[in-house]
Each structure stands twice: as structure tokens, then as C-alpha cells.
């Protein structure tokens, strides 16, 4: 496990234990407060036309004078999605809906 994964895992645990409080600060920006200041920003592709099914391709994390990016499909990105699902009910609902839909699609493949 690299330092980014370790850090995000601790943020997830602190969020779960309510030691970090999260707020939305504008569209696609999430701010944690507590013993640590932390900002997570969504990186969403620019596309023409309807964007209902397009989610973030990456997240930018800013904390402790450090900035790093977690790209979709990476373990760090999965942890960030779990952090946001823990902090915001709509993220949890969206995650559950995606799982349900993909499991349904996989069932059609067997």
C-alpha cells in the first residue's frame, strides 16, 4: 500500500468515526474540517450534449500543502468514493445504484 492509499484509508476511517465533518463547497468540491483540513475536487471531462451518465474521471486531493490526483479505476479513487459515500447519502445511493445496474448487466452475460 502506498502513502496515498494509507492516507486516504485513514481519512475514510476518520470520516466513518465522525472525526472529520464534510461539506460541499460548490459543484464538485468537498471540504473536510476537523483536526485536518482537506479538499477533494472532482475532475469531470468536458463533453458536448447530455451529461447525466458521466461522472468524475478523477479526484484531486489537497491537504498538508500536498496535491495529488486519483484516477478512476485506481484503488485511491475507490477509497475516495467510499469516503464521499460515508459523508454524503446521495453518494452512497449513487454507488449502490451503479452496483445494482452493473450486477444486472453481468447477469445477462452468463
Specify the number of domains making up the chain: 1
Whether the predicted pLDDT of 53 surpasses 70? no
Whole-prediction pTM:
0.85
Confidence band (pLDDT; 50, 70, 90) for 62? very high
Average pLDDT, the chain: 90
**Angle subtended by helix axes 89-107 and 75-87, to nearest 10:** 130
Specify the higher pLDDT residue, 9 or 26. Answer: 9
Distance CA 93, CA 98 (A): 9
Q: Which domain holds residue 10?
A: 3-107
Burial class (CB in 10 A: 0-12, 13-18, 19+), 53: exposed
* pLDDT the model gives residue 79: 96
Whether the predicted pLDDT of 52 surpasses 80? no
* pLDDT the model gives residue 86: 96
Amino acid at each position: 500500500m502506498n502513502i496515498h492509499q494509507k492516507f486516504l484509508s485513514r481519512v475514510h476511517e476518520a470520516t466513518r468515526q465522525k472525526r472529520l465533518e464534510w461539506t460541499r463547497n460548490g459543484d464538485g468540491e468537498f471540504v473536510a474540517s476537523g483536526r485536518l483540513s482537506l479538499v477533494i475536487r472532482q475532475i469531470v471531462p468536458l463533453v458536448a450534449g447530455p451529461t447525466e451518465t458521466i461522472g468524475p474521471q478523477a479526484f484531486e486531493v489537497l491537504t498538508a500543502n500536498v496535491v495529488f490526483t486519483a484516477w478512476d479505476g485506481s484503488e485511491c479513487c475507490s477509497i475516495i468514493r467510499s469516503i464521499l459515500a460515508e459523508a454524503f447519502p446521495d453518494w452512497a445511493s449513487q454507488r449502490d445504484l451503479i452496483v445494482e445496474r452493473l450486477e444486472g448487466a453481468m447477469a445477462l452475460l452468463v
